[in-house]
């Protein structure tokens, strides 16, 4: 190293040390202070105010339905900023700051079976702060992110620093160990013994989905105390045996883009993406074992106690599952999702039906979900007004799903019991400890039991489900119904490409008039008419139907070209093409688009130009099933 360079490094180090020490002196000691008891709304406000004071722009929560259609839900605060983090978009170029903060609604369906413990929820809120790109406008990276996190937790929330554990990335073949973060934490007075290193599973965050921005992360964990622990000597952050030490804040240092081949490509900019578990921090601040005992859940828990003769203390897990699932359902429905057998609708159906089944365990009376939904709406109406404005829809969807499931639940449970008892009697033969896929499929098909629910019930009885056979049965069933449909289309050209193109125009028009939540749920085309099923919660007014009809006819008049392109499924989804049953598409797909009005993955055939269609006329609008409407339409010459 040249002398000049060495001097420069020494000076920079000194400067860094000086600013770290200066900041350390600004931190409260953090050991004698006790966390202030705090209501949820106060915590949200405190967080956003803190970052606003530090020149961050407060951004509203984005919806639970992410703009990136390769994933089902928004699971992290950064999703709405992923293109900024990748450097693909720069909407902040005219702003004085490139710092953002938000409180984001999130939903994680992967965690459904963990719900009931102290730390997992399906729906939850994530507090976060971001610094996009590092080079200008006072942006920050590791040093700034760590400084803000400590300042907020210690000075604002008065958490005891001596209860913190820190995790950092251990490094691997491609990405080196995060020595820099380790040094910064130590400079801020976190002792070396409290800093633990982990591999990529814990400390290399992202991407959301298969490709996207990611980077090494450093997490703050909080020791809740001996009473929550496993008592093992080596108990620490990420302990596999207990939840004594919980992760509360994840600081991600975004530097890479993971591509389709799994390679980490260095981004041209470095950014900070942090996420703090709102529910977890609130429970710590209120000195409660979990969020279920805080103002976010307690009114729901108390309502459940009123609706059955059981007590929360003796039935914690069941109460928590019901409370979590009703909250998740309220938020999903408020955004226009409906229970169904595909994608997000299937997740919604699963949690609603799971809540109903758990309701049986504590002998809650049918209809018990409605007062619980009302409580949830009360808790959140001032923070997320959509739960209040959609109250009628939320209650209707829940009530209908409950009624539907109640009709078959008892019979299904009886059937399950009969099957499991049979297996148990015969259990001298080990193979018979598995519930066959055929039985599980029958429970799904005839009684509306989601596969996961049957699996969970089986587990409770020490049994397993033959999932592969279940999937085979499901496939067989789908093939039979598809064959039925094809038969209708077949018979030498009965299927009308004109009506097929009109169906795409109708889909586009419905989404434009009623909102982007409208999704195709089914389609049937004959030589005479089209029939289109779509998710929507209520009857359409005659004005709405007229608007839809007029818009389709306008597009026909414009004589637009129907463009056909081949591309990978990923490209198609990324370009915003609508997909029906995403998982059933091959890797290469055909996309049909009618300028920017309609873009769908589809096997065709279609006409060449919309001008060929004639006049579009809706002849009927009716309910197809709960939350699904049906339109029948024709083309007149």
Instruction: In angstroms, give the least distance from the CB of 243 to ligand SER.
Output: 17
Give 58 or 392: the residue with its C-beta nearer to ligand SER.
Answer: 58
Q: Which stretch binds ligand SER (CB under 6 A): 268-276, 516-524, 600-608, 623-631?
A: 268-276
Residue among 131, 255, 274, 553 that touches ligand SER (CB under 6 A): 274
Tell me how far, at minimum, the Cβ of 276 lies from ligand SER, in Å. Answer: 8
Of 80, 79, 69, the closest CA to residue 580 belongs to 69
Which of 66, 77, 339, 412 contacts ligand SER by CB under 6 A?
77
Nearer to ligand SER, 30 or 216 (CB): 216
Which CB, 103 or 521, lies closer to ligand SER? 103
How many residues lie near ligand SER (CB under 6 A)?
A: 10
- 321 with 292: CB under 8 angstroms? no
Task: Let me know: does 102 contact 255? Beta carbons within 8 Å.
Answer: no
CB of 204 to ligand SER, least distance (A): 12
Which range in 234-242, 273-281, 541-549, 611-619 contacts ligand SER by CB under 6 A? 273-281
Answer yes or no: are the C-beta atoms of 146 and 138 closer than 8 Å: no
Longest dimension (CA), the chain: 87
* Cα angle 477-65-351, degrees, rounded to a multiple of 5: 55
Residue among 632, 623, 616 nearest 549 (CA): 616
Q: Which is nearer to ligand SER, 78 or 457 (CB)?
A: 78
C-beta of 154: minimal distance to ligand SER in Å?
A: 20
Cα torsion 406, 410, 412, 417: sign: positive
Distance CA 323, CA 308 (A): 14
Nearer to ligand SER, 147 or 353 (CB): 147
Residues facing residue 168 across a β-bridge? 197
Comparing CB distances to ligand SER, the nearer of 205 and 449 is 205
Task: Report the site for ligand SER in 407-466 (rule: CB under 6 A).
Answer: none
Contact between 76 and ligand SER by CB under 6 A: the answer reads yes
Asked if 119 is part of the footprint of ligand SER (rule: CB under 6 A), the reply reads no
Closer of 78 and 348 to ligand SER (Cβ): 78
CA atoms of 44 and 55, how far apart (whole Å): 17
Token pair belonging to 326? 């009703």
Residues 618, 637: Cα–Cα separation, whole Å: 14
| DSSP 8-state assignment for residue 235 | -
| Least Å from the CB of residue 247 to ligand SER | 9
CB-nearer residue toward ligand SER: 253 or 592: 253
Q: How far apart are CA 378 and CA 372, in angstroms?
A: 10
Where helices occur in 526-580 by DSSP H, the ranges are 542-557, 569-574
Output 43 or 252, the one with its CB closest to ligand SER.
252
- Is 391 a residue that touches ligand SER (CB under 6 A)? no
d(CA 153, CA 503): 54
Using the rule CB under 6 A, is 275 a contact of ligand SER? yes
Q: Token digits for 598? A: 């309609």
Stretch binding ligand SER (CB under 6 A), from 258-266, 271-279, 545-553, 567-575: 271-279
What SS3 state is found at 34? Answer: coil
Answer yes or no: are the C-beta atoms of 297 and 94 closer than 8 Å: no
Residues 193-252 that bind ligand SER (CB under 6 A): 205, 250, 252
Find the length of the chain: 637
Give me the residue label for tokens 């990324």. Answer: 574
Q: Does 78 bind ligand SER (CB under 6 A)?
A: yes
Q: Applying CB under 6 A, which part among 114-122, 270-278, 605-613, 620-628 lies near ligand SER?
A: 270-278
Contacts to ligand SER by CB under 6 A: 76-78, 128, 205, 250, 252, 273-275
């Amino acid at each position: 190293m040249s002398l000049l360079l060495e001097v420069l490094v020494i000076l920079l180090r000194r400067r860094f040390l000086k600013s770290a020490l200066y900041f350390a002196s600004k931190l409260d000691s953090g050991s004698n202070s006790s966390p202030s008891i705090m209501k949820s709304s106060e915590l949200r406000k405190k967080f956003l105010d803190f970052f606003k004071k530090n020149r961050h722009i407060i951004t509203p929560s984005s919806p639970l339905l992410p703009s990136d259609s390769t994933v089902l839900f928004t699971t992290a605060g950064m999703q709405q900023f992923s293109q900024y983090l990748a450097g693909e978009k720069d909407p902040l170029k005219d702003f004085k700051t490139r710092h953002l903060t938000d409180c984001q609604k999130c939903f994680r369906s992967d965690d459904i079976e963990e719900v009931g413990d102290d730390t997992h929820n399906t729906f939850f809120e994530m507090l976060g702060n971001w610094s996009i790109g590092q080079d200008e406008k006072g942006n920050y990276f590791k040093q700034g992110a760590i400084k803000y996190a400590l300042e907020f937790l210690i000075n604002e929330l008065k958490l005891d620093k001596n209860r913190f554990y820190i995790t950092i990335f251990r490094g691997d073949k491609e990405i080196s160990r995060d020595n820099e973060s380790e040094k910064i934490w130590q400079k801020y007075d976190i002792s070396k013994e409290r800093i633990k290193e982990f591999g990529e599973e814990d400390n290399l965050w992202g991407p959301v989905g298969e490709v996207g921005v990611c980077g090494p992360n450093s997490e703050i964990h909080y020791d809740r105390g001996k009473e929550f622990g496993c008592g093992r000597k080596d108990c620490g952050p990420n302990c596999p045996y207990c939840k004594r030490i919980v992760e509360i804040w994840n600081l991600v240092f975004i530097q890479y883009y993971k591509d389709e081949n799994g390679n980490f490509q260095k981004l041209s900019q470095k950014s900070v993406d942090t996420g703090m578990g709102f529910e977890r921090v609130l429970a710590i601040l209120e000195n409660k074992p979990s969020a279920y005992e805080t103002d976010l859940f307690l009114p729901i828990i108390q309502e459940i106690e009123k609706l059955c003769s059981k007590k929360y203390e003796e039935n914690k897990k069941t109460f928590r599952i019901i409370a979590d699932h009703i909250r998740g359902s309220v938020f999903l429905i408020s955004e226009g999702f409906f229970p169904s057998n595909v994608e997000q609708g299937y997740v919604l159906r699963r949690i609603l039906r799971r809540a109903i089944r758990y309701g049986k365990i504590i002998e809650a009376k049918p209809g018990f979900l409605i007062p619980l939904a009302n409580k949830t709406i009360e808790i959140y109406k001032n923070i997320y007004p959509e739960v209040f404005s959609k109250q009628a829809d939320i209650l209707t969807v829940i009530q209908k799903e409950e009624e539907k499931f109640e009709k078959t639940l008892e019979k299904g449970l009886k059937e399950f019991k009969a099957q499991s008892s049979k297996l148990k009697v015969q259990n001298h033969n080990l193979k018979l400890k598995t519930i066959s896929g055929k039985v599980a499929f029958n429970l799904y098909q005839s009684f509306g039991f989601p596969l996961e629910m049957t699996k969970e019930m089986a587990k409770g009885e020490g049994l397993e489900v033959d999932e592969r056979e279940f999937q085979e049965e499901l496939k067989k069933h789908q093939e039979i119904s598809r064959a039925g449909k094809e038969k209708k289309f077949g018979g030498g050209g009965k299927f009308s490409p004109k009506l097929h193109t009109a169906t795409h125009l109708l889909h586009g028009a419905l989404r434009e008039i009623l909102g982007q939540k409208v999704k195709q749920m089914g389609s049937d085309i004959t030589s005479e008419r089209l029939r289109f099923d779509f998710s929507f919660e209520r009857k359409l007014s005659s004005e709405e139907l007229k608007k839809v009809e007029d818009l389709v006819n306008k597009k026909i008049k414009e004589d637009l070209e129907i463009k056909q392109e081949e591309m990978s499924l990923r490209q198609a989804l990324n370009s915003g093409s609508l997909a029906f049953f995403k998982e059933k598409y091959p890797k290469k797909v055909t996309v049909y688009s009618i300028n920017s009005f309609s873009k769908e993955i589809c096997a065709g055939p279609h006409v060449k130009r919309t001008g060929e269609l004639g006049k579009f006329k809706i002849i009927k609008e009716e309910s197809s099933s709960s939350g699904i409407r049906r339109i029948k339409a024709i083309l007149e010459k």
